Structure 1
């Protein structure tokens, strides 16, 4: 499968996830605090390179891949290099390229993980729990009643089915971004960039 086809498959997964998260949020009233972005400041976020293949492809198509690769490889910070320190409403948050964010960024706060008993448990942040406790209670009840809830492992299984190798490894977020960029650059190294697609 070509890089472009993989990017399309990841983007389809993200499109379906966005609808699933919106449905869950509407049913539970869960939402982020406006202008928060605290989850982006977590220093130990891990992701797979496949999650950032759309970002890498976008950067390649816009002639920014090498610049971002250098930035990712030279960064000593454990904070995502895509983080914008200033909130920008048009970006949707603190992410410089919000529409190109990874799967973990899309799931956190509004999904569930399966516990040892295989029952879903809400995964959300301390800020949401403190500011919107009624919504958190409503979400927990929603999950308990076995109503539709985005479950993290289901989306990661779908992601890995696109490319098992790129979707399997969990790396620190900047290393995942760098690996995604290297993958795109390597793929197009001997192909006509004008025909990237």
Structure 2
């Protein structure tokens, strides 16, 4: 499958997930705290190349590919995410093209060994939950199971959807692939 088609397939999966997340938010009242982007600052975030292909194509479309490649190269092994704009409303400069991990965090479940769901969320959302500020019964019907979406992403392309990298490295690899594609097309 061509790179652009892989990005489209990932975006279709993300659209379906966004629908589930919207329902989950309505049922639970869970929301990120205003102006909070702490999850974007963790150096522990791992992602695949495939989930950031849509963002890479968006960057190419804007004519900003070289800028973001350089930013990613200088941010390897560091946090925060290169797309984060701290202090700005809507702090993510790639919010509509963000990766799967960014979409799942806060609004999905992880299953334990017994198959019981546990909310995949930050300490702030979990503390609101434990204080009873949100509806106490988590709806299982509308919630996304993180591992299921990870497997579906893997099914789009096992080569690009399997290996997890530190966040900025995954973004860099996606940007480089789109850049190589662009250079190849110019040369042919």
Q: Give the match for residue 182 of structure 2.
A: 188
1:189 deviates by 2.3
Q: How does 1:1-20 map to 2 (within 5 A)?
A: 1-20=1-20
1:192 deviates by 4.3
In 2, Cα distance between equivalents of 1:180 and 1:136 = 39
Q: Give the match for residue 82 of structure 1.
A: 83
Q: Give the match for residue 166 of structure 2.
A: 172
In 1, Cα distance between equivalents of 2:2 and 2:91 = 31
Q: Residues 129 and 136 of structure 1 are in contact (CA less than 8 Å); yes or no, is this contact kept in structure 2?
A: no
Extract unaligned runs of 5+ from structure 2.
none
For the pair 1:120 / 2:117, whether they are aligned, the reply is: yes
Q: How does 1:1-197 map to 2 (within 5 A)?
A: 1-75=1-75, 77-88=78-89, 93-132=90-129, 133-134=131-132, 135=134, 137-139=136-138, 142-143=139-140, 147-192=141-186
Q: Residues 78 and 172 of structure 1 are in contact (CA less than 8 Å); yes or no, is this contact kept in structure 2?
A: no
1:7 deviates by 1.2
Q: 1:41 to 1:78 in 2, by over 3 A?
A: closer
Q: Residues 49 and 160 of structure 2 are in contact (CA less than 8 Å); yes or no, is this contact kept in structure 1?
A: yes
**Runs of at least 4 residues of structure 1 off by over 3 A?**
none
Cα-to-partner distance string for 1:51-77 (whole Å, 9 max, x where unaligned): 100011111122211221111012252
In 2, Cα distance between equivalents of 1:184 and 1:84 = 23
Cα-to-partner distance string for 1:72-93 (whole Å, 9 max, x where unaligned): 01225222111101222xxxx3
In 1, Cα distance between equivalents of 2:184 and 2:82 = 28
Matched residues, number:
184
Cα-to-partner distance string for 1:116-137 (whole Å, 9 max, x where unaligned): 1122221111111223543263
2:91 match: secondary structure: strand
1:4 deviates by 1.5
2:87 match: secondary structure: strand
In 1, Cα distance between equivalents of 2:8 and 2:186 = 19
TM-score, normalised via structure 2 length: 0.91
Extract unaligned runs of 5+ from structure 1.
none
